[in-house]
A and B are shown apart, each in its own frame.
Chain A
Amino acid sequence: MKTPDNLSNLVKQFCQILPKDSVLAKKEQLSVYECDALTAYRQIPRIALLPETQEQIKAIIKICKKLQLPVVVRGAGTSLSGGALPHAKGVLLNTAKLNRILEIDPENRTATVEPGVTNVAISEAVKPLGLYYAPDPSSQIACTIGGNIAENSGGIHCLKYGLTVHNILALKILTIDGEIIDLGGKHFDSPGFDLLALMNGSEGMLGVVLQATVRLLPEPDGRKVLLAAFDRIQDAGNAVAAIISSGIIPAGLEMMDSFTVMATEKYCSLGYPKDAAAILICELDGFEEDIQSQVLQTQKILDSHHATEIRLAKNKDEEEKFWKGRKSAFPALGNLSPDYYCMDGTIPRKHLANVLEEINFLSKKYGMSVANVFHAGDGNLHPLILYDANRAGELETAEQLGSEILQLCVKMGGSITGEHGVGVEKLDQMCVQFNSAELQTFHSIKSAFDEYQLLNPGKAIPTLHRCAEFGAMHVHGGEMPHADLPRF
């Protein structure tokens, strides 16, 4: 089946199904795609394609299958784990031109869109109906729904309204065999296995998302935003656990440490309490009457956890100001350091204070600054390790530090990634979280969809061989990790 094709032959084949300017093969054209938002990993693809229709994607996949060419699908390329990193021998398939909203169904509260539609475009399109699409990653103006599905992305409001997997109703998937399968629908559950759930978070390795139907929610009746400052980071951590266990599910509950507060103040000076060790931002939404009582309750909890200051936004402007610091935290930190490396571990909330302390210790041990700004309500940490890639060895040190942080998360009963995905970045840490039989299960699932490993090969699931080399300390019920594999 395999035919050794030279590049010009390939270009010719793809030009038969795509307009000429949608087939890119020159080095300067391809360099745009050499990395996603995890810039430490770079690779130029053999060829990049920009289809405009689902039919064209189908034709592309057919050729790739025939020639056994690896395919990496790319949405907006905002992945933070190298999920969209191209394959040297393969095709980069960019969905950017498939950006049409195909249907808005107010009766059933759904929108059906092409994969390249940006996250925010959906909410904007349905705003006049009083509806919105709930998952709101910070990258929402750029990232695409196809990428969101592949990564099962979250956002500030996922604490109350769920992740991407909870908000996708139907998918049209193109398999590498060139067949279209329809999963889910505007109805609620589907017969057979829950492949809809399986697709979410599968990092583009099981099929190409051609179309998605998302669930729309009504805008809440009202909302209130609180900001609280703490002298001790432990108090802030414990306040988070206390709010949730009191029976309140905030729409968002975010935390920033003093380093991040300092950086954002420098960046956009919003009047955040500058001498605080940590601040919490808490958004409550729902029916007006319910929010009133929840605000009082939350204030009481914050107070009893020694908040040094509690502010309640008086109007929309102030609400936006409270959120603005949180939302500009990444660029603000980016201003302080040439490079940063963003981690994404999750832990049970009750360990927040301890883990933050431990991260502080690791930061000193490695001599690198770590800023913490994260989704506290669901225990999803984003430690940002600041480094300078131009200084020899700094990237490696940052990666080592990051790896220790993730192993700490696993030890605490958490996960190496909450929403950014494994990609190429956390392959070694996967060996810490899973044993060889579990990893083998993942490989078998992959093969059930993609026998020849053509879709985004090498991502997300490490080979057992790699894990044996990494020698991860995964202890599963007292067993030696990967005891059955030879060590090198």
Chain B
Amino acid sequence: MTDIRELIASRVKDAYEKGCALKIHAGNTKDFYGRNIKGIPLSLSGHTGIVEYEPSELYITARSGTPLKEIEHVIEKENQILPCEPPHFGAAATVGGMVAAGLSGPRRVSSGAIRDCILGIEIINGKGEYLQFGGKVMKNVAGYDVSRLMCGALGTLGILMSVTLRLLPKPVSEQTLAFPLNTSEAIQKMNSWARTPMPITGTFHDSKNLYIRLAGSRSTIEKCAEILGGYMVDRSHAFWSDVKEQATDFFMTDKPIWRIQVPPSTTPLKISGSSLLEWNGALRWYASETETSEIRRITEQAGGHACLFRRRSGTEDIFHPLSPHLLEIHRRLKRAFDPNGILNPGKIYCDF
């Protein structure tokens, strides 16, 4: 196990003094996410290793460059899972990249987002200072919640050095059911089932079929399957892995891919092109050539926001624009963590 903390801290200090931008990366599996930026590459992939894993305490602490698959492998042996079921998008995916990107998987509907399972974090800020926030315990309200603030910030507020994540017991068994339904019907069904206590831990609609995943004891699953109907899908595990890794035909396209979030029960959006639904309808993927401004207008009207996820031309804004006041607070926060603007500048929005 290597520990390159001091080396990284001194490189950041140096960059801080010279005011030169750093481009933080590790496995490069989620490099496509966010705006294209310039900077001297700073790799975290050598900063690996599980620091602490206490199965009985339901947490794991790992250095940020630790491969996600290593973590999942180790906790699997203890019958535990990462609650947020993160996508890897490649074998080199690291836990630091997972937190920085903040992309959650199908289990988001039942077990929460990546930010929800973050217990603590260690970072190096834009001045090269080593800081720790949060801890190993689930309840902790000492100081502002800096740990969660790092999630989804794409490295613009700090270099993630290690993270502590809450784990969950692996469900005793799982079963996937399919229902031939169109998009409107699927949205309606998912949301009415979400009002029942049935243990649904994943929902996915591919414009022809609605798929739902049940988790629990065999007898619970049988009982729910009886209530719900539908037909059983073989190889449940592989199916959801394909969903989260975007290994479906939908993503084999030349068209821009939009990641759109709206209130789950929103009726189908009037955006041309093919679409996929997850998270009870709260997450919608579109492969669409519709104008950016039009897509943003439609999603905003529905009370949501749109992110240009894949296949973009390179210079445009990726994330939904923020209101002026909100943007100003973002700028000030950026300055609080990174006064000289050297950490992944421009990765989320062009000016920070």
User: Is A116 an interface position by the 8 A CB rule?
Assistant: no
The answer for the CA separation of A420 and B245 in the assembled complex, in Å, is 40
CB <8 Å contact, B283 and A415: no
Residues on the B chain within 8 Å of A249, using CB: 168-169
CB <8 Å contact, A187 and B217: no
CB <8 Å contact, A181 and B326: yes
The answer for the CA separation of A218 and B112 in the assembled complex, in Å, is 16
Residues on the B chain within 8 Å of A460, using CB: 143
- Mark contacts of A407-420 with chain B using CB atoms, 8 A cut-off: 1 yes-contact digit, 0 otherwise: 00000011111111
User: Is B346 an interface position by the 8 A CB rule?
Assistant: no
- Mark contacts of A397-427 with chain B using CB atoms, 8 A cut-off: 1 yes-contact digit, 0 otherwise: 0000000000000000111111111100010
Interface hit among B22-30, B219-227, B236-244: B219-227
Q: How many residues of chain B get a CB closer than 8 Å to chain A's CBs?
A: 81
**Which B residues from 171 to 189 make CB contacts under 8 A with A?**
172
Residues on the A chain within 8 Å of B131, using CB: 437-438, 441
Q: How many residues of chain A get a CB closer than 8 Å to chain B's CBs?
A: 97
User: Is B228 an interface position by the 8 A CB rule?
Assistant: no
Residues on the B chain within 8 Å of A130, using CB: 195
CB <8 Å contact, B137 and A415: yes
- Mark contacts of B187-202 with chain A using CB atoms, 8 A cut-off: 1 yes-contact digit, 0 otherwise: 0000100111111000
CB <8 Å contact, A448 and B335: yes
Complex: chain A residue closest to B283, CB-CB = A188
CB <8 Å contact, B303 and A193: no
Complex: chain A residue closest to B127, CB-CB = A437
The answer for the CA separation of A158 and B112 in the assembled complex, in Å, is 14
Residues on the B chain within 8 Å of A221, using CB: 197
User: Is B289 an interface position by the 8 A CB rule?
Assistant: no
User: Is B348 an interface position by the 8 A CB rule?
Assistant: yes
Q: How far is the CB of B126 from chain A (nearest CB, A)?
A: 11
Interface hit among B36-44, B65-73, B151-159: B151-159
The answer for the CA separation of A181 and B332 in the assembled complex, in Å, is 15
CB <8 Å contact, B261 and A189: yes
**Which A residues from 144 to 160 make CB contacts under 8 A with B?**
151-152, 154, 158-159
The answer for the CA separation of A441 and B144 in the assembled complex, in Å, is 9
CB <8 Å contact, B132 and A438: yes
User: Is A247 an interface position by the 8 A CB rule?
Assistant: yes
The answer for the CA separation of A379 and B348 in the assembled complex, in Å, is 37
User: Is A293 an interface position by the 8 A CB rule?
Assistant: yes
The secondary structure that dominates the B interface is loop
Residues on the A chain within 8 Å of B261, using CB: 187-190
CB <8 Å contact, A461 and B143: yes
Complex: chain A residue closest to B104, CB-CB = A189
CB <8 Å contact, B149 and A198: yes
User: Is A131 an interface position by the 8 A CB rule?
Assistant: yes
Q: How far is the CB of B177 from chain A (nearest CB, A)?
A: 16
CB <8 Å contact, B129 and A437: yes
Q: Which of A192, A202, A245, A289 contacts B319 (CB 8 A)?
A: A192
**Which B residues from 118 to 168 make CB contacts under 8 A with A?**
125, 129-133, 135-146, 148-149, 151-153, 157, 168
User: Is A197 an interface position by the 8 A CB rule?
Assistant: yes
CB <8 Å contact, A186 and B139: no
CB <8 Å contact, B169 and A247: yes
Residues on the B chain within 8 Å of A152, using CB: 141, 145
Residues on the B chain within 8 Å of A293, using CB: 217
The answer for the CA separation of A129 and B196 in the assembled complex, in Å, is 10
- Mark contacts of B258-270 with chain A using CB atoms, 8 A cut-off: 1 yes-contact digit, 0 otherwise: 0001111100000
CB <8 Å contact, A193 and B152: yes
**Which A residues from 439 to 481 make CB contacts under 8 A with B?**
439, 441-442, 444-449, 460-461, 476-477
CB <8 Å contact, B144 and A187: no
Q: How far is the CB of A464 from chain B (nearest CB, A)?
A: 14
CB <8 Å contact, A379 and B220: no
Residues on the B chain within 8 Å of A271, using CB: none
The answer for the CA separation of A202 and B146 in the assembled complex, in Å, is 11
The answer for the CA separation of A444 and B196 in the assembled complex, in Å, is 44
A-B contact pairs, 24 of them (CB 8 A): A107-B264, A163-B138, A179-B325, A186-B303, A187-B263, A187-B282, A187-B305, A188-B261, A189-B113, A189-B261, A192-B326, A193-B152, A194-B149, A198-B145, A202-B145, A220-B197, A379-B138, A422-B143, A426-B142, A445-B336, A446-B144, A448-B332, A449-B332, A460-B143
Given contacts A181-B329, A194-B148, A286-B220, 10 further A-B contacts (CB under 8 A): A181-B325, A182-B326, A187-B304, A287-B199, A290-B217, A379-B138, A380-B137, A438-B132, A445-B336, A476-B132
Measuring CB to CB, which residues of chain B are less than 8 angstroms from any residue of chain A? 54-58, 79, 102, 104, 108, 112-113, 115-116, 125, 129-133, 135-146, 148-149, 151-153, 157, 168-170, 172, 191, 194-199, 216-217, 219-220, 223-224, 261-265, 279, 282-283, 303-305, 307, 319-320, 322-323, 325-326, 329-330, 332-333, 335-337, 348-349
